């Protein structure tokens, strides 16, 4: 029997981090379609993130990307976030947009370039200190395009050395989250191409180095929930970059391409009792909104994660375990499908009302006049976007 009060309490405590870059102009490598009302600086990005939290109630932190969100005073930025009702989340490094990184950043054959890249990662830890951030999130575009271009093993040695230097700089309550990506922009060989490579480096570094799973960074057909279960069992799952894809790293709204996959992922999280904040998993969005309204898209994404989580919480674990133990293949699958096919929207609407929120966050946002306000205010200057 499912305890709905327990389900609602778990959903009430859910935390989903929004990314500052989702509110700026971004798109594909072919075209970025600019929109009105887009933030022009990190303060305006935070204001948009705070708006998402105000209507959803479960998005109290916003991730920064350096240098896209570079400011003179990070303590002041953190104070502004608190005044808006949110806090600074993960600090994301950027060692992929500088011309010096054409042949790699921390794995570059040139020691001067490696030094520059590592110094940037150390700068990000300084920003963590100033903002109170717990998580340093690292993604490397490093790799090669042609066989023989560089020594594969030597590049792993260079990567390990840089990670060790940065890991040793972390404060006692800070963590390193290492992301991986199958391909792009390195097409022959990527230095951190999969969860196994990230896991191996994290094990070597220590307990405060953990793997972050970007749901778009896998080969077609990859069983992502297996990776989730494995890393949970090993104590090495540090967080998610939630998005959705049809082909590769599309960065579409989470749950838009394969909502069943998102449910299966959240089922493993619930099964391991890893949903609450005490479990330490950072549930972050990592999306780019090119043709859809940005704030509404982020709100919708938060709602998609909530819906998948609610369905996962409705799985009858006792019935599932009994069917599994009895070797009842169809019965076990039916337990999962019964939960997945449940319409949880009335449950979430009731929960939002209990939390003093509008049951329909999208409609509430549309009525709020926030977009009309920022569209009028944010005229002139440079709209934030990739590289700004």
Residues 203 and 236 in one domain: yes
Specify the number of domains making up the chain. 2
pLDDT for res 230? 98
Q: Are residues 251 and 284 in the same domain?
A: yes
Whether residue 105 lies inside any domain: the answer is yes
Do 315 and 326 form a contact (C-beta atoms < 8 A)? Answer: no
For residues 143 and 281, state if they share a domain: yes
Alpha-carbon distance of 366 to 276, in angstroms, equals 30
Across 338-357, average pLDDT: 98
244 and 203 within one domain: yes
Report whether pLDDT(29) > 80.
Answer: no
Distance CA 135, CA 15 (A): 15
Claim to verify: residue 146 and residue 201 sit in the same structural domain = yes
Same-domain status, 155 and 170: yes
Whether 86 and 178 map to the same domain: the answer is yes
- Output the domain CATH number for residue 198: 3.20.20.150
pLDDT of residue 2: 86
Confidence of residue 169 (pLDDT cuts 50, 70, 90): very high
Asked whether residue 190 falls in the same domain as residue 42, the answer is: yes
Q: Classify residue 146: in a domain, yes or no.
A: yes
| Structural domain contains residue 301 | yes
Residues 351-383: pLDDT tens digits? 999 999 999 999 999 999 999 999 999 998 888
Output the pLDDT for position 387.
55
Give the per-residue pLDDT at 385.
83
Q: Does any domain span residue 278?
A: yes
DSSP 8-state assignment for residue 140: -
Domain contains 7? no
Same domain, 350 and 245: no
- Based on the fold, state whether residues 319 and 216 are members of the same structural domain: no
Cα of first residue to Cα of last residue in the chain, in angstroms, is 51
What is the per-residue pLDDT across 42-73, written as a single tens digit (0 to 9) for each? Answer: 999 999 999 999 999 999 999 999 999 999 99
Mean pLDDT taken over the chain: 96
**pLDDT for residue 388:** 46
Q: Are 214 and 294 found together in one domain?
A: yes
pLDDT of 30 > 90? The answer is: no
Domain-located, residue 3: no
Distance CA(221)–CA(326), nearest Å, equals 28
Q: In this structure, what are the phi and psi dihedrals at residue 61, rounded to the nearest 5 degrees? A: -130, 155
Residue 370 lies in a domain: yes
Each residue of 283-324: pLDDT tens digit? 999 999 999 999 999 999 999 999 999 999 999 999 999 999
Q: Which range of residues forms the domain containing residue 332?
A: 314-357
Q: Is there a single domain that holds both residue 295 and residue 208?
A: yes
Tell me the average pLDDT across 223-251. Answer: 96
The position carrying tokens 């935070």 is: 46
Q: Model-level pTM?
A: 0.96
> Is 1 domain-assigned?
no
């Amino acid at each position: 029997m499912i305890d709905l009060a327990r389900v609602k309490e778990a959903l009430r405590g859910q935390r989903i981090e929004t990314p500052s870059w989702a509110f700026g102009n971004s798109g594909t490598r072919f075209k970025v379609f600019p929109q009105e009302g887009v933030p022009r600086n990190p303060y305006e990005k935070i204001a948009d993130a705070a708006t998402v939290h105000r209507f959803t109630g479960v998005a109290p932190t916003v991730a920064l990307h350096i240098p896209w969100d570079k400011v003179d005073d990070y303590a002041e930025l953190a104070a502004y976030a608190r005044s808006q009702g949110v806090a600074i989340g993960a600090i994301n490094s950027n060692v992929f947009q500088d011309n010096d990184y054409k042949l790699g950043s921390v794995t570059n054959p040139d020691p001067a370039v490696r030094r520059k890249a590592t110094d940037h990662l150390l700068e990000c830890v300084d920003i963590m200190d100033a903002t109170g951030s717990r998580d340093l999130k690292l993604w490397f575009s490093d790799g090669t395009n042609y066989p023989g271009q560089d020594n594969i093993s030597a590049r792993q040695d260079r990567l390990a050395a840089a990670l060790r230097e940065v890991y040793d700089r972390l404060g006692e309550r800070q963590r390193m989250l290492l992301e991986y990506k199958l391909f792009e922009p390195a097409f022959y060989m990527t230095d951190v191409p999969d969860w196994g490579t990230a896991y191996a480096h994290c094990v070597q570094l220590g307990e405060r180095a953990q793997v972050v799973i970007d749901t778009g960074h896998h080969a077609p057909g990859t069983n992502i929930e297996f990776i989730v279960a494995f890393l949970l069992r090993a104590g090495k799952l540090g967080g998610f970059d939630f998005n959705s894809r049809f082909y590769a790293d599309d960065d579409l709204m989470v749950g838009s391409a394969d909502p069943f996959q998102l449910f299966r992922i959240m089922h493993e999280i619930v099964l391991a009792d890893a949903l609450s904040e005490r479990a330490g998993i950072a549930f972050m969005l990592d999306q780019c909104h090119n043709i859809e309204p940005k704030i509404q898209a982020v709100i919708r994404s938060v709602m998609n994660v909530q819906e998948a989580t609610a369905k996962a919480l409705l799985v009858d674990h006792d019935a599932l375990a009994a069917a599994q133990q009895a070797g009842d293949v169809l019965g076990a699958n039916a337990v999962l499908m019964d939960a997945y096919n449940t319409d949880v929207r009335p449950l979430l609407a009731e929960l939002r009302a209990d939390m003093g929120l509008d049951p329909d966050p999208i409609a509430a946002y549309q009525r709020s006049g926030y977009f009309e306000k920022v569209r009028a205010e944010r005229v002139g200057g440079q709209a934030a976007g990739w590289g700004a």
